[in-house]
Structure 1
Amino acid sequence: MFGGLGKLAAEGLAHRAENATEEVVHKAEEVVKEVVKEVVEHAKEAGEKAIENVVKAAKETEEKAMKEVTNTVTNTIMHASEGLNRLGQ
């Protein structure tokens, strides 16, 4: 008689352990999903920031290059005009 009760108790314990394990696994999956979601969000923000910085740097480089070209053209025109003035005198 006790053999049957022991077997029943062991099966009940195994069943509860299985349920507890499934619950722990389910909670772990939820935690992992949240962590992954957070990591992806941070990566997205970092990527957007990096793209923003690259675009800003490209604009600054473009502006600097345009100023240099403008200065070079202006200086060239001024020197040419001074040279023509000297020739005309």
Structure 2
Amino acid sequence: MLGLLGQIAADNLARRTEKATEEAVDAVEEAVKDVVEHTTEDGEQALAEALKNAQESGEKLVKEVTESVTNTVTDAVTHAIEGLGTQGQ
């Protein structure tokens, strides 16, 4: 009789342990899924921000270079014209 009760108790404990293990695995899987989802979203946001910053930096650099070249060419033309003007006098 005690052997049968012991077997029933052991079987019951095994089922409870298996159920608890399955619940723990499910909880871990859900946690990992949430972490991956948030990490993916954060990564996408970081990438979008980095691309935006790179584009803004590139646009700023192009503007600065364009202004510098324009000023250099304008100064060169102005000096050339002034030089031609003084030679003609």
Question: Considering the TM-score relative to the shorter chain, is it more than 0.5?
Answer: yes
Inter-partner Cα distance in structure 2 for 1:83 and 1:35: 70
Inter-partner Cα distance in structure 2 for 1:84 and 1:35: 72
Q: TM-score with structure 1 length normalisation?
A: 0.96
In structure 2, the residue matched to 1:29 is 29
Deviation at 1:72, TM superposition (A): 0.5
Q: TM-score with structure 2 length normalisation?
A: 0.96
Deviation at 1:26, TM superposition (A): 0.5
In structure 1, the residue matched to 2:86 is 86
Deviation at 1:8, TM superposition (A): 1.2
- Structure 2: stretches of 5+ with no match in the other structure: none
Deviation at 1:69, TM superposition (A): 0.3
In structure 2, the residue matched to 1:72 is 72
- Structure 1: stretches of 5+ with no match in the other structure: none
Counterparts of 1:54-65 in structure 2, within 5 Å, are 54-65=54-65
Q: What percentage of residue pairs aligned between the two structures are identical?
A: 43
**1:52 and 2:22 equivalent?**
no
Deviation at 1:40, TM superposition (A): 1.1
Runs of 4+ in structure 1 over 2 Å off: none
How many residues are paired up?
A: 89
